[in-house]
Amino acid sequence: MYQSNAHEQWANEHRDCDSQPSVMDFARVSFVLSEHAGHGPGCAQYLAALTRASSVLD
C-alpha cells in the first residue's frame, strides 16, 4: 500500500518534463527513469535521474 501511494505522489511531482527534480534516492531515480524513458534529450526529469543514477555508480 505504501509503495502505491509513494508512486502516485512521485508521478505527480515528476510529471513535468521541463522542471528540474529535487534530490532523489535510488528508488525515485528508478521510478523517474521508467516514467520518462523515451521522452528524448529535452526531458529534464529523465536527464536529472540519469545523472543521479550515474553518480551512484561512480
AA identity, residue 56: V
Query: What's the predicted TM-score (pTM) here?
Result: 0.81
pLDDT in tens, 24-37: 888 999 999 999 99
- At residue 9, the 3 state secondary structure works out as helix
pLDDT in tens, 1-57: 456 788 899 989 999 999 988 878 889 999 999 999 999 889 999 999 999 998 866
Q: Is there a contact between 45 and 21 (Cβ–Cβ < 8 Å)?
A: yes
AA identity, residue 45: Q
Domain boundaries, the chain: 2-57
